[in-house]
Amino acid sequence: MAARVICMASAKGGSGKTSLAATFATFLSRLEKKVLLIDADFATNGLTLLFLKEVRVKSELIFSTGRAPASLNEALLSCEECDLIELSENLHLIPASFNLQASALSVTDSTRKNFKDLLSPLRETYDYIFIDAQAGADDMGQIAMNRGVSDEVVIVSEYDPMSAAGVERLKGMLREDLTYDRTWVLLNKILPEFAKSFSDFLEVAKYLSPVPWDAEVVRAYTRRRLAIDTETGNQHTLSVLQTLKGLCGESIQKEISTWVQTRAAVIRQPLEKQYSDAETEMAFLIRAKSRIQQKALVLQLASRIFVVTAITSMVYLIAVRLSEISYTPILEISSRIGPYIISVGMVFLIFVIIGSDLFASFLNTFRGSPRSEGVQKMLDEARYDRQLEITKERLKRLELLRTLDPETLLKRSDFWPDEKGGQAGENGS
């Protein structure tokens, strides 16, 4: 095992190199790679502060044994062996300092040699070593970027003309170390819509896939936590994956393929449930619309029965009246069977309207309600039609997602699980 030592550098502070160093290391460690983080930024102690809880626990544990903990500062001064902090099973950290004070380490030839000597045995233990260098071209930054210390340098930069000028200035100052073959430029904090249009940023450089930031990424870092989610995935995680594919190449291709397959399987589980739920919702809407239509038909039938019964009643009354004036067999028959017709009609009408809201509909119709039954029926049908169209489109989208291969599925920006456990894009987007 021979670790690749990668120096994370920047022309100026605030580019996000410390967060990216921690993110890359965390991702690779979860791909079963052994990774070491070294905080060589003695001005800000960035990585040390990011993992402050773990640093303090380790410090107290070492002090309890009766000795002082050794950080990178002590190792470079006196060749002491550093105390490693275990962040997870495959991830360790060497802090810049355990007392969290900015160090004014004087850089000499022995300092550079001590750094090389420190890395020599560690190269045989880890797969990747990330050095978080101090921003700019200070002495410690130059040591971290030196080709005798690190194998590659990733210059992290924001996407603006001032940052571009700073990167060019840094490359000009360290021409021998920041050569094309071992130097990458990584654009960070790019708005997602600009992530694909960055090729004109610098004239000559090797680019890694840029890392866009959205509101969720900013929110994560303000809460002092990494924005990646290697369990269920998110867009930032996918961006980091693309960057690491460019940086690490074939050495992690197998692990990335496994991760993609696993994450796709995780995403497909709720996908099948969503499809089933959408089908159930469509069946409910179809039944609901059918009930409205059935109700309208029953109401229409009841209205006709009511009219027939009313006409029959009038005929009966007229027949009875005429039979009193002059005897006629037809009138006599009408007067005899009329009550039966009326009774049957009334019973049927009562049977239809009892247990339903048809009676209220009759009252609204005859009282001249502003929203008549016909208008209400049309409004209800239109509402269900709209919901049916939305559900149909949702089913089409889910059917498409079910057919995608794992990597294409992960690239779909409308299918990452949101923070509430639902699916992004399930609101009709």
CA separation for the pair 247, 155 (Å, rounded): 12
pLDDT tens column, 388-429: 888 888 888 777 767 766 666 666 544 444 433 444 444 333
Are 223 and 332 members of one domain? no
Quote the CA–CA distance of 96 and 51 in Å, as a whole number: 12
Specify if 266 maps to a domain: no
Residue pLDDT, tens place only, 186-234: 999 887 766 555 544 444 568 888 888 878 888 888 888 888 888 767 7
Residue 173 has pLDDT above 50, yes or no: yes
Whether residue 116 contacts residue 149, with contact meaning beta carbons closer than 8 Å, is answered with: yes
Look at the alpha carbons of 310, 316, 320, 326 in this order and tell me if their dihedral is positive or negative. Answer: positive
**Which of 25, 33, 23 lies closest to 255 in space, CA to CA?**
33
Residue 124: domain span: 4-228
Asked if residue 11 and residue 137 are part of one domain, the reply reads: yes
**288 in the same domain as 390:** yes
The answer as to whether 427 is a domain residue is no
pLDDT tens per residue across span 145-164: 999 999 999 999 998 888 88
Report how many domains make up the chain.
Answer: 2
Task: Give dist(CA 396, CA 402) in Å, integer.
Answer: 10
Q: Give the integer Cα–Cα distance in Å for 164 and 398.
A: 43
pLDDT at 235 > cutoff 70: yes
Q: Is the domain of 139 the same as that of 78?
A: yes
What is the average pLDDT across 286-314? 72
User: Do 146 and 62 have their domain in common?
Assistant: yes
Examine the fold and report which residue of 228, 261, 294 is the final residue of a domain before the chain moves on: 228
The whole-angstrom separation of Cα 40 and Cα 19 is: 14
* Encoded tokens for 273: 């449930």
* Strand-pair partners of 417: 423
Is residue 302 located within the same domain as residue 178? Answer: no
pLDDT at res. 71: 92
Q: What phi and psi values does residue 222 have, to the nearest 5 degrees?
A: -65, -25
Asked if residue 183 belongs to a domain, the reply is yes
Same domain for 69 and 208, yes or no, is yes
Whether 249 maps to a domain, the answer reads no
Q: Three-state DSSP class for 229? A: coil
- The domain boundary residue, chosen from 200, 228, 256: 228
Structure tokens at 77: 């001064």
Q: Do residue 215 and residue 354 come from a single domain?
A: no
CATH code, domain carrying 221? 3.40.50.300
For the beta carbon of residue 401, count every other beta carbon within 10 angstroms: 20
**Domain shared by 315 and 200, yes or no:** no
Describe the strand order of the beta sheet including 91-94 as a list of residue ranges.
85-88, 91-94, 35-40, 128-133, 4-9, 152-157, 183-190, 211-212
Identity of the amino acid at 99: N
Could you count the other beta carbons within 10 Å of the beta carbon of residue 307?
11
Residue 80 located in a structural domain: yes
CA-closest candidate to residue 246, choices 192, 202, 209: 209
What is the H or E stretch that residue 274 is in?
A: helix 253-325
Q: Measured between alpha carbons, how far is residue 72 from residues 25, 69, 82, 118, 141 in Å?
A: 18, 10, 6, 9, 14
Residue 211 lies in a domain: yes
**For the segment 324-379, what is each residue's pLDDT rounded down to a tens digit?**
555 555 555 555 565 656 565 555 555 555 444 455 555 455 444 444 556 676 77
pLDDT at 257: 82
Q: Are residues 309 and 176 in the same domain?
A: no
Q: Nearest Cα to 115, choosing from 64, 49, 40?
A: 40
Half-sphere exposure of 119 (CA within 13 A, CB side): 27
Q: Would you say residue 250 lies in a domain?
A: no
For residue 267, is it within any domain? no
Q: Note whether 297 and 223 are same-domain residues.
A: no
- 86/183 same-domain check: yes
The candidate with the shortest Cα–Cα distance to 122, out of 1, 249, 251, 244, is 1
pLDDT tens readout for residues 249-292:
888 988 888 887 777 766 666 667 777 888 888 888 888 878 77
What pLDDT score was predicted for residue 146?
93
Q: How far is residue 358 CA from its own chain's centroid? A: 49
